[in-house]
A and B are shown apart, each in its own frame.
Chain A
Amino acid sequence: MKKRHFLRTALSVLALAATGVHAPQVLAAEKPFKVGLIVPMTGAFASTGRQLYSAVQAFTKEHGDTVAGRKVQVILKDDGGIAANSRKLAQELIVNDKVDVIAGFGLTPITLAVAPIATESKTPMVLMAAQTQANTEASPFMVRSSGTITQVTSGIAQWAVDNGIKTAVTLVPDYAPGYESEEAFKKYFLASGGKILDEIRVPMRNPDFAPFLQRVRDVKPDALFVMLPSGPGAALLKQYGQRGLAEAGIKLIGHGAITDDDNLNEAGDAALGVITSDYYATSHDSELNRKFIDLYKSVDSTSRPNFFGVAGYDGMRLIYEALKATDGKGEGMALVDAMKTLSFESPRGPVRVDPESRDFVQNIYMRKVEKVGDEYQNVEFDVIENVNAAGEKK
């Protein structure tokens, strides 16, 4: 009996090991240029992954898959939003699939886990989502195509100061982007003489905001600043309305994530009138943006692009332009250096890569949620131009 088990074990080990073996590649005239896209397609952050992947597909649909004579191949991997997985996937992509660029990365923990791998293997890393400012410092090979929390928060903090808000309470989730957002808001707000009455950090897996909002109501600030990822953000908006905070004179302001375009139509009336700042709104009034939205919807008709979608699109643009600039031979630091010189018009507005921080210098828009026709939109009513990753005007 045991022998059968032994045979089975040995066979299964060998059989499964064989799955890791790749047939030798038929050498093409030009080596294909491979992009390893590591995003969360399942799990709590699946919407980020889907936005990124759809946008990447939209870009390759528009621009084709040949750049400077090389065929671009995108290899999609799902890390489920777990840093340990992303790290393993990155290693496998680089060592086994020999990708030239790794891209994606939905969350800060994932970015930080993968960064040392990019550095050690000298692989360019295009960060398309995670917005913690410190991320790009984790590897000199990293370039980001989204934005930073500090960058985005500076907008709303400034607006708060300019519009007579003297006291505030901050409510953020209990992880790095949350802390950063709280920091950033405090920095601007306190510097202009505002007072923070309470700093609430909400546990990540939180079903009910009732106790926290009740606390806010009891403290009675002029405004409640919120930064939350979109799912919980919508829940908060509803409970905010129900708890009568608006009637109590507490204004709701926030980081653009709480009125995420991907989710805004579901949040519906509860979101009306909420003022946020961010680097992209689906409602942005430009021909390029309208084209982008149509393109995106042709790939994924069930949603519209949000700030992650546009980052996926622009991230691919960075890769393509850098490859063109290096005549198709760019790799490693040369490719990154090429990216550092880029500036172009994005569906969000004008963007420019800051060679020092390797982040975009871009516009931050003040928006208010309004109903436009059948849909709810973040309608831009003001803009702060050329804000860099640290939230300063450049």
Chain B
Amino acid sequence: MKGLFDKTFWGLTIGLIALLILNFFLADWLRGIGLQSIARGMVALGLLVLWRTGLISFGHALFFGFGAYAAALLQRIGINDFFVILIVGTAASGLLAYGLGFLLRQYRAIYFALLNLAFSMILWGVLANLEVLGSTDGIGVRPPSYLGIELEGEANQMVLFALAIIFTYLVAVATNLYLRSTLGYMTMAVRENEIRVEYLGYSAERAIHMKYIISGLVAGFGGVVMAFAVGHVDPDSMAYWPISGDFVFITILSGSGNVAAPLIGAMVYELIRSYAFEYAPQVWQLIMGGSLLLIIMFLPDGLWSLTERFKRDKA
């Protein structure tokens, strides 16, 4: 696996080790921010893969919410193991993406974006209306157990955080590898010239379907993590349209240059949000909206493009 060890791999590995060490010293609320960053960053990672293919979804809260509610419902039927919940929640979300993908892969541009929005709002409507799922109040989520081991309070948070980081690392490395494979380069190819892809012997739609499934998987993963991070799931914070908007916000904020970008971008987003909420709660949306506009106007390739500039200046 010679292609495995590139700069991104080492960067991610260093990040992993650093975070695992920091985990022992972090204040609880910072761990909370970290978990939420991971949750959103994962969805943004999926959107990065789609964005490289030339597609944006305005409705990925669909998979995020699906994963989050899957976690809550698994707990309700008595399953409390972190690993089981994570795998089942992610897989369920991926399955949903697989099914919807047959339809979505035929759409492009704004229609793709809006069709995703429609489906996410259908989920929202269902969740908000069904009493059995808690309707607008939602469902509570307890801290999980780990292969039978029950933990309390901060110990549980530490293990949760560590595991979340490890799994995120694995997903990021895998995605990086994927993007450097032939199928990964197909993102560029489909975005640039579908006819050429077709005449080279590959189905553009099939390529899009695969990327859609990947985006669904990681978004579901993010949903599960968020459910544990916040301890609660409800339609407005998991499936409502502004949530999808926030994911796109992070994707554009971060840039699509590297798999680490959305993870870092999500952290930046989370920090801005928390500080804005803390010190200027009446204007936090003003700050968020303003930051997004600044990025769109002056840094269209996102925060990651700053690393390119830095490299260029050094050379």
Are A and B interaction partners?
no
